[in-house]
Every structure is written in C-alpha cells, then in structure tokens.
Amino acid sequence: MKNNVLQTPIEYLKGVGPGRSALLRQELSIHTFQDLLHLFPNRYIDRTQYHKISDLVNTGAEVQIIGTITHVETVDQKRGKRLVAEFSDDTGLMELVWFRGHKWIKQSLKVGVPLVAFGRLTQFKGQFSMAHPELELLEEHQGQLRSALQPLYPSTEKLSKSGLSNRLMGQLTAQLIKDHLAQEIDPLPQSITERLKLLSQREALTQIHFPSDQNQLARAQFRLKFEELFFVQLQLLRKNLIHKRKIKGYKFSEVGTLFNDFFKQHLPFELTPAQKRVIKEIRSDLGSGAQMNRLLQGDVGSGKTIVAFMSVLLALDNGYQACILAPTEILSVQHYNGLLEYCNKLNISISLLTGSTKTSDRNELLESLSKGDLNILVGTHALLEDRVKFQNLGLAIIDEQHRFGVAQRSKLWHKNEYPPNVLVMTATPIPRTLAMSLYGDLDISVIDTLPPGRKPIKTVHRYDNNRLKVFGFIRQEIAKGRQIYIVYPLIQESQALDYKDLMDGYESIVREFPTPKYQVSIVHGQMKSSDKDFEMQRFASGQTQIMVATTVIEVGVNVPNASVMVIESAERFGLSQLHQLRGRVGRGADQSYCILMSGHKLSDDARQRLQTMVATNDGFEISEADLRLRGPGDLMGTQQSGVLQLKIADLVKDGETLKLARSYAKEVLRQDPELNHPDHKGVRLTLAAIFKFKNIWHHIS
Ligand code: ADP
Ligand code: MG
C-alpha cells in the first residue's frame, strides 16, 4: 500500500541531506515529507514588481530592487560589528546591512554583478537600508518563475544563517510536490470532494505553496482547512463511537421510585424546557448500557444542580451509589447542604468528604461507603484519594470540570470494576467550536435558558473617581435590605500587593460603612478555612451586609439576597472570571447589579472585555468574545494545547468550516463505521498515519 511516501524522513528529499534535515527538525519540527508539505507560507509577496531606489517611500515595506553592490565594508560599532554594502541602481544609492554572519556573507557578496535584493526597508539618517536582505543573481532570478503570490515561509535566524533561505524552502517544496505527490491517494473521499467542489489534495497543496491567483489560493486554503478539521473531528467522533461500543457502563434500566417520587412530590419548581431536555438526554445515555460520558454546559444559575440530582436518583433507583465532585470546599459544602434537604425527604443517605473532614468522621464515612450503606458522597479532591472505596459507584458527577485535570477524572474511573457513568458540568460556557474540538468525543448537553422570573443583571462600568457615587448606591441597596459583594483581584505574581489593596479597600469600606449600622465581612485565601466559613456563614445568614473578598467567592457561593457585585480593578480580570463573579448575584427575585470599577487607563483588550460585560449577560456570547480576544490556546490552558495545534485552520475564524467538517465526518462514520468502503481508503490510511506518527490524542480523557 502506498501513501507512506509522505512519511519518508525529510533527509531523503533530494537537496536536504543530514545537515539540513537536522536543522529542519530542530527549527521547524519538520521530520517528514508530509511535515514540509504542511509548512504553509505565512503570507505571500508580490515578486513581479521591482522598485527604483529613488522612488522608495515607505519604511517597513518589503520591496525588491535590481542593482549592484559597489562597495563592502565592516563597520565597528559599540555592540559588535556590522557589515555594510553600498547598493545602487541607476536612480540612487542605499545600504544593505548585516549584523550577523559577516564573514560568511562577506565572502559570498559579489561586487559589480547585477543582483536582486529583497527585504524590508528601514531608514537610517535619511537613507534607506535593508537589513539581512535576500540576494539573488539577476541572471538566476530571471530564470525562475515570478509570481504575484510568492510564498513566504516561516523561518528562524538559524535557518536563514545556514542558507536554508525562503527560496530554498520553496524549491524543496516544489520538488516534493513534483516528484512525490502524484502517487498519493487523496485523504478525502471523492464523494466529499465532489459534493463540496474541493480541489484535490495535489491541487490544493500546489496552490497553497504556489498560487496562480487569489481565487485558487482561497480554494486551496478552504480545502486544506476542511481536511484538517475533518480529520480532527473524525478522530473524536470515532473515539466516541468505539468508546460506546467497547466500554460497558452500568446500565440504569429503571426509572424507579426515588426518581418518580421526587419528580411528583418534591420538585421545588417546575423544570425549564432546557432542564427537561437535558434530563431526557441523560436518561437515554444511562439506559443504553454504554458508559455515559457527557458534558453539561449551562450558565451560572441555569439550574444544573437539579439535573445532577435527578441523575443521581436514577443511579440510586438502580442500586448504585453516586458521587458529586466539586472543585472547592465551599462549593461542595453548598452542594451538600442543598441536596441534604432533598435527601432527607427521600430518606436516602448523603455525606460530605473534604480535606477538613475529621479523621473519626472520615473513617466512619469510608466504611459505610465501602459497605454500600452510603448512597451519595459529595466532596472535593479528597474523593480521589486511594482509600476512598465505593461499593458500587454507578455515577460520578463533576462540577466545574475544567478545574480538574483529565488525569484526575480517569482516576475516578479506576475505583470500580467498570467505569462509572460520568456527567461533567461546567458553568463556563465553552464556545461551540472549541467544545467540538476539545470535547468532541464527549456528548454535550446545553442548558441554554435561565429559570423563569430572573431579572437580567444590570452591568455598568465606572471609573475609580466615581467611587463616592458607587458607595451612595450601595447604601441605598443596603437600605432596601440587600447585600453587597466587593471583590478584589488576587493574582499569584502580585500577591503581596494585591493583599495590600484588599486590606486598604476593606479599611476604606469599614470607614464608609461604620458599625453598628453596617457590618462588613472579609474573606480571602490566607485565612484559615474555619474563619472563612465563619465569615461566609455570617454573610449568608444576613448578619453582615457587605462581603469584601478575593476571588475565593468566584465559584459557587449562593446568597440569593446579595444583589450588587462590585468588582474592583475589573480590568485585571479575564472575561470568564468576570462572568463567573457576576453570576454570584441575580440569584434572587430582586433586580441585581454588577459594577465594574477601573482606572482611566485601559488597554484595548481590557476595554473590550469591560464593554462585552456591559453589553451581554449571555455566557456563550461572552465565551465567544473571550475566544476572539485571547485565542484558543490561552483560553483553555496549556493542558489541551496539543489538540489545538492546527496547522492551517483557526478555531476562531473557521467555525463554519468546522461545523461542515464535523457533519461530513459524522456522515462518513454513519455510512461506514469501519471505513472499509473503497472511497474511504484515503481516510483510513490518513487516520492510520496520524495515529502512528502524531500520537497526540491519547490524552483526551
Ligand atoms: P447552576 O447551574 O449555577 O448550578 P443552580 O442549580 O445552583 O444553578 O440553580 C440556581 C438557582 O436556580 C437555584 O436557586 C435553583 O434552586 C434555582 N432553579 C433551578 N432550576 C429552576 C427552575 N426550573 N425554576 C426555578 N428555579 C430554579
Ligand atoms: Mg452549580
């Protein structure tokens, strides 16, 4: 079988050899023919135009000029030397300059011979110059194809110094296309290329490197983006398919008395249509016999907890235990307290396990857990310790999943004979394109409507010098019986300073809002956890009206009477954090407010973040804005960056192509799950090559 030619080590390409191949590997991670073909030009330059020296105007422009070198000298300067060549045409004179590699370059410079110099213009004391230009003999230059879209490849200093010039990269690529690509089977099925009128692989690769015009370039880019995304999606979908087929899970075939009792008698409110839909999706997973692996996305306050709890009841109805894992102690305590009420009504047992659970309590708890007396265990990371043994864990619910590493998730899986069904809940909506790329192997449910009766939170941006007005507003709200959060940033790198800001802020709040009329709480990460809880409790029970805090309150805290969230130095927070913080208010029936405080000096990005917050309450919209501002890598952290190392597609800009690629990948798998069809041969071979050579997918769950 062919299609392996492209996996040939790069040193075997004519003109490369061991020395250059080492450089290509080191500098550009080019190991194989395939890698070189997929080193796409950064951009294209017009090499059909020539400039005259006297006509030069723009510093920074990239130009090519025909002329000759008239004189070369090495000039000493404070820091090292520089090599300067006088370069002239029939209209004027300019300088070519090298700061590095003098010796080698000096030897190779030919005085008095017609040359073409290409490079970026700089200006020094009124004279134009070009640093590290690309030089070609005019004679050779004329023998080559000139294009208005000449590729410009990514390069490094080392590469250009070693003579692996842009021109050579182009030549190598051209040769590769000419000599080796013809035998390749197109990775995409003909049925798809025909339906979408895509260029063939060979045409696309030729056109992306050496476009004949803008239109062909655009078609080549589209085809290659589609192909890249198609294979990412195909792998994820296939994984999901195989997973469903292979990984048996506990089957919850019955909807039993607990679920029904709760639904009929104890449900504290009517479920929203979105909640009903999601519960249905979960029920169908749980009844399927394949292990559930579902991501539940829903904005803060969208009502994920009840969905989680009803899923738990399904597990219990079928004789299994369930656990709920939360990222912080505060949040697990809250889950525990909230669910305890329901559990008491239903006469089922629930316990809480965190780092601060007393040893004696813990031992007792662990015993009843392993005996199966305990139905539901709620807690933090403490749940993942080896000594925590369930009798039969059938369902694991993970709240705020992105805070847990994937490794920890799989740790839970190994606690039993079979992996439990897993429901991952996140309140940080992930843009659809990202979710499809990162979690495409999970099933995804979305709660996209808030429970009825919520008034949208009003968000405003105020400058620091308006603080007095803000205080006045806070006073009014407190007079109405409401409570206030005031949050300060706390960032690892500037911790000491941030704590000082927090304490200064606290003091000024206490001065503005003096006892006995006002009571002010403070909570931050350096407090003992018992002190934190105590203060939290005082605020939650309404004994204090103002809570001054760092972002420890970001996750989970639920005080429905709190109606104002003041965020200090809001420009220093990221969008998703701002959105999370804002979600702490608006939980009751009252009109709630979020006040973003900042200085006057704002970076463009910061201004856009604040404007986005003021403009919308929709978590998905905010996540899309966040993706645009920060890019996918930053948004998701380094952990998943491997998945996002796309060569040509861009998750921010190519969302539509991604959807298209996903739908086609789905269709291929639906028609031919084993990829045995002759038209899918290229798909099969490409997948095999991906698995063999780029085994980067193993780390997704
Ligand atoms: P989150 O998705 O942020 O975890 P919660 O589950 O904590 O949201 O729900 C937020 C609040 O909304 C809770 O007080 C909850 O009781 C309430 N709630 C949830 N679903 C509904 C509903 N269908 N109707 C009315 N209130 C609801
Ligand atoms: Mg929640």
Per the domain annotation, does 421 fall within a domain?
Answer: yes
How many angstroms is it from 254 CA to the middle of ligand 2? Answer: 27
> What is the domain count for the chain?
3
pLDDT digits (tens, 9 = 90+) for 162-202: 778 888 899 999 999 998 888 788 999 999 999 999 999 99
Residues 502 and 418 in one domain: no
Task: Tell me whether residue 297 is in a domain.
Answer: no
CATH at residue 493: 3.40.50.300
Would you say 427 and 558 are in contact if contact means Cβ atoms under 8 Å apart?
no
646 lines ligand 1 (CB under 6 A): no
DSSP assignment string, 326-353? -SSHHHHHHHHHHHHHHHHHHT--EEEE
Kindly state whether residues 598 and 474 are assigned to the same domain.
yes
Residue nearest to atom 26 of ligand 1 (CA): 451
**pLDDT over 80 (residue 407):** no
Residue nearest ligand 1's atom 14 by CA: 587
Q: Give residue 643's pLDDT.
A: 53
Lowest-confidence range among 269-273, 465-469, 645-649?
A: 645-649
Q: Whose CA is nearest to atom 11 of ligand 1?
A: 301
pLDDT in tens, 80-106: 788 999 999 999 999 999 887 777 788
Confidence of residue 688 (pLDDT cuts 50, 70, 90): confident
- Is the pLDDT at 555 greater than 60? The verdict is no
Distance 556 CA to ligand 2 centre (A): 6
Assess whether pLDDT exceeds 70 at residue 402: no
C-alpha 452 – ligand 1 centre gap (Å): 10
Atom of ligand 1 nearest to the CA of 308: 6
Is 450 part of a structural domain of the chain? no
Q: Which of 240, 229, 292, 267 is nearest to 648 (CA)?
A: 229
Model confidence at 413, pLDDT cuts 50, 70, 90, reads low
Give DSSP secondary structure letters for 457-470: PEEEEEEGGGHHHH
Q: What is the mean pLDDT of residues 199-210?
A: 95
Q: Which residue, 426, 446, 477, sits at the end of a domain?
A: 426
Whether 637 has a pLDDT exceeding 60, the answer reads no
Same domain, 376 and 467: no
- The verdict on residue 580 lying in a domain is yes
Q: What is the mean pLDDT of residues 566-585?
A: 92
What are the C-alpha distances in Å from 227 to residues 204, 232, 437, 542, 657?
A: 11, 9, 14, 58, 10
Write out the residue range of the structural domain in which residue 422 sits. 257-286+303-426
Task: Give tens-digit pLDDT for 191-200.
Answer: 999 999 999 9
Q: Tell me the ligand closest to 429's alpha carbon.
A: 1
Does the beta carbon of 272 lie inside 6 Å of ligand 1? yes
Q: Is the pLDDT at 4 greater than 50, yes or no?
A: yes
SS3 325: strand
Residue 307 Cα to ligand 2 midpoint, Å, equals 10
Q: What is the pLDDT of residues 493-524, one digit of tens each?
A: 678 888 888 999 999 999 999 999 999 999 98
pLDDT band at 2 (very low <50, low <70, confident <90, very high): very low
The verdict on 484 and 347 lying in the same domain is no
Q: What is the pLDDT of residue 695?
A: 45
Rounded distance from Cα 305 to ligand 1 centre (Å):
7
Q: What is the mean pLDDT of residues 354-371?
A: 95
20-33 CB burial, b ≥16 within 10 A, e <16: bbebbbebbebbbb
Structure confidence by residue, pLDDT tens digits, 234-262: 988 888 888 777 777 889 988 899 999 99
For ligand 1, say whether the CB of 99 is within 6 Å of any of its atoms.
no
Pocket lining: 334 vs ligand 1, CB cutoff 6 Å: no
CA-CA-CA-CA torsion sign (162, 168, 170, 171): negative
Q: Which atom of ligand 1 is nearest to the CA of 399?
A: 4
Lowest mean pLDDT among 315-319, 322-326, 497-501, 611-615: 497-501
> What pLDDT, in 10s, does the model give residues 52-82?
999 888 778 889 999 999 999 988 877 778 8
Radius of gyration for the chain, computed over Cα atoms and rounded to the nearest angstrom: 32
- pLDDT on residue 630: 81
Count Cβ atoms below 10 Å from residue 661 Cβ, excluding itself.
Answer: 25
In a domain, 633, yes or no: no
Give me the percent of the chain exceeding a pLDDT of 90: 54
Are residues 378 and 525 located together in one domain of the fold?
no
Q: What is the CATH number of the domain that holds 120?
A: 2.40.50.140
Q: Specify whether 413 is located in the same domain as 488.
A: no
pLDDT value at residue 124: 77
Residues 421 and 474 in one domain: no
Cα–Cα nearest to 613, from 636, 630, 593: 593
Work out the angle between the directed axes of helices 166-180 and 201-209 (0-180°, nearest 10): 160
Q: What does the pLDDT read at residue 416? A: 66
pLDDT of residue 401: 56
Whole-number Å distance, alpha carbon 304 to ligand 1 midpoint, is 7
Residues 466 and 421 in one domain: no
Do 517 and 416 share a domain, yes or no?
no
Residue 108 has what pLDDT?
83
Largest CA distance in the chain: 97
- The pLDDT value given to residue 242: 82
**Cα–Cα distance for residue pair 63/81, rounded to 1 Å:** 26
Q: Is there a single domain that holds both residue 526 and residue 608?
A: yes
Q: How far is CA 609 from the centre of its chain?
A: 17
Task: Determine if the pTM surpasses 0.95.
Answer: no
